[in-house]
Amino acid sequence: MPIRSTPFLSPSAAAARSIKAGRRITLPDVGLFSDGTAVKLVGEETFRITRQLVDDIILVDTDAVCTAIKDIFQDTRSIVEPAGALAVAGAKAYIERAKNSKKPIRNQSLITIACGANMNFDRLRFVAEMADVGEAREAVFAVTIPEEHGSFKRFCEVVGPRNVTEFNYRISDAKSAHIFVGIQTSSADEPARIAKTFEKNGFGTLDLTHDELAKVHIRHLVGGKSSLAQDELLYRFEFPERPGALMRFLSTMNPNWNISLFHYRNQGGDVGRILVGLQVPKKEMKTFRAFLDNLGYRHWDESKNPLYKLFLG
């Protein structure tokens, strides 16, 4: 089932609200992401000209602006500020809206003005994160699977050839495992189809693709200490960033060992950096070391890391 929180439309849409009201509206506050358009009150002359000449105003959210910044960079290798990308985001929204009308846009040239380079370098991380969702290239889900041996592998088999962009899990319940997963998509309607596939295979699923809490915060907070994580070893791995790397890991590990923690986020590199908690009985440590050697993935034992003891152990 899809979960939608209130979309984060910039509260800086003073012009749109004023035109709708027929008078200049003063906003109590404005968002600063698109700071070049963050005005509480539209100027008198701007309001007059807008009412006289502008046919329509299209509102876009932060995800769409981030996607437009990425589009402009890919086409021109220029990085514009959010306000400078608004026109491109609006044009894309206009084209998408026309697709569902009786007059789709064909054989036309649309012109936008992309200006301004007031971009904070540290903000680029947020822009890149939000762009995938904004261009319907990533869907995020909360999925419930049975807390039993083989469930993780079966879930990955259901995911199939799709590219997993993120996976967060921490053992917390003796019967059910709640995982946060991101999957690369190619269209806006694909998240719904993926959710139905999970449900069909017996995995309770929440579609969080449009949930701001999930996208901005929850994805970074999955984890914590657990009384169920007995005999847990914590390892960092570098997986080859290619299809099948995770399935090889799951297929070669001893089926009696339990994965108690798993964290992965695609960073666009040639290797995937994975954090895994594995519950391995002490008497099976020789077998575990042989598993690591045969696997061939670079790995580091973090079981004695003080951060693990402080936050996860």
CATH of residue 296? 3.40.1020.10
Residues 94 and 197 in one domain: no
CATH of residue 30? 3.40.50.1100
Is 5 part of a structural domain of the chain?
no
Residues 160 and 242 in one domain: yes
Residues 75 and 179 in one domain: no
Is 91 part of a structural domain of the chain?
yes
Residues 96 and 51 in one domain: yes
Is 58 part of a structural domain of the chain?
yes
Choose one of 97, 131, 165: the last residue of a domain. Answer: 131
Is 241 part of a structural domain of the chain?
yes
Q: How far apart are CA 87 and CA 141, in angstroms?
A: 31
Residues 166 and 193 in one domain: yes
Q: Which residues pair with 238 in a beta bridge?
A: 273, 298
Is 2 part of a structural domain of the chain?
no
User: In this structure, are residues 183 and 133 in contact, taking their beta carbons and an 8 Å threshold?
Assistant: no
Q: What are phi and psi of 196, to 5 degrees?
A: -65, -35
Mark 100-139 as b/e (b = at least 16 C-beta within 10 Å). Answer: eeeeeeeeeeeebebebeebeeeeeeebebbbbbbbbbbb
User: In this structure, are residues 24 and 41 in contact, taking their beta carbons and an 8 Å threshold?
Assistant: yes
Residues 304 and 271 in one domain: yes
DSSP letters, 36-83, are GG--SS--HHHHHHHHHH-------BHHHHHHHHHHHHHHHS----HH
Q: How far apart are CA 164 and CA 260, in angstroms?
A: 19
Residues 198 and 295 in one domain: yes
Local structure of residue 163 (DSSP, 8 states): P
Choose one of 112, 131, 150: the last residue of a domain. Answer: 131
User: In this structure, are residues 86 and 68 in contact, taking their beta carbons and an 8 Å threshold?
Assistant: yes
Q: How far apart are CA 275 and CA 237, in angstroms?
A: 6
Q: What is the pLDDT along the chain (313 residues), one digit of tens a residue?
A: 443 333 333 446 888 999 999 999 998 877 778 888 888 899 999 999 999 999 889 998 888 899 999 999 999 999 999 989 999 999 999 998 888 787 888 888 889 988 888 888 878 878 887 786 666 688 899 999 999 888 988 999 999 888 888 899 999 988 999 999 999 888 888 999 999 999 999 999 999 988 878 877 787 788 888 999 888 999 999 988 887 888 888 889 998 899 999 998 877 677 888 999 999 999 999 999 999 999 999 999 999 998 888 888 7
Residues 104 and 144 in one domain: no
Choose one of 103, 131, 159: the last residue of a domain. Answer: 131
Q: Locate 25 and state its tokens.
A: 């509206």
Residues 30 and 102 in one domain: yes
Confidence (pLDDT) at 285 = 94
Residues 177 and 252 in one domain: yes
Residues 107 and 206 in one domain: no
Is 7 part of a structural domain of the chain?
no
Is 163 part of a structural domain of the chain?
yes
Residues 20 and 60 in one domain: yes
Identify the domain containing residue 232 by its residue range.
Answer: 138-311
Is 197 part of a structural domain of the chain?
yes
Domains: count for the chain: 2
Confidence (pLDDT) at 7 = 34
